[in-house]
Amino acid sequence: MTLAAPPASPVFDLALLAENWGTADDPLYRRILGLFMAEAGRLTADLAAAHAVNDVPALHNAAHTLRAIAGNVCAMGLSRAAAALDESAPAASPADLAGLVATVQARWREVETAVAAGGPRHDR
C-alpha cells in the first residue's frame, strides 16, 4: 500500500501566524518557537528510531505530538506531514509508513533551515 504525503506547503503559514501571534517577532512566540525546536528535534529523532525498529505505537505517539506542537508555531507543512503519519500509523504496516516518515523528516529539515535563517518571515 502506498500512502500519499500531504501536498507541499510553505514552511510557516504566515497568515495563521499573524492571526494567532500578531508577529513572528512577538517575544512569547520566539520563546515558544525555541521550546518547539528542541522538542520537535527530539520527536523527529524518536519517530525515525521507532520506525527503524517497527514500533508503530511509539511512531504514532511521536507523530501525534509533533502534529500538535508544529501547529502551535504555525509550521503547517510539518504539522500536515505529521498528521498524515499520525492518521495512517494505526492501520498501516511500518513498510507502508516509510514514505510518510521521510516526508516528516524533510519538513523538519525545512523548519530547521528557516529558523536558522531567522525564523518565519514574509520576505521568504
Tens-binned pLDDT, residue by residue, of the chain (124 aa): 556 666 677 899 999 999 999 999 999 999 999 999 999 999 999 999 999 999 999 999 999 999 999 999 999 999 999 999 999 998 888 888 999 999 999 999 999 999 999 988 754 4
> In this structure, what CATH number is given to the domain that contains residue 53?
1.20.120
SS3 string, 22-72, reads CCCCCHHHHHHHHHHHHHHHHHHHHHHHHHHCCCHHHHHHHHHHHHHHHHH
Residue 121 lies in a domain: no
Residue 51 lies in a domain: yes
Residue 59 lies in a domain: yes
- Give this prediction's pTM: 0.91
Domain that holds residue 39: 14-116
Residue 4 lies in a domain: no
Residue 3 lies in a domain: no
pLDDT of 13 reads 94
Domains of the chain: total: 1
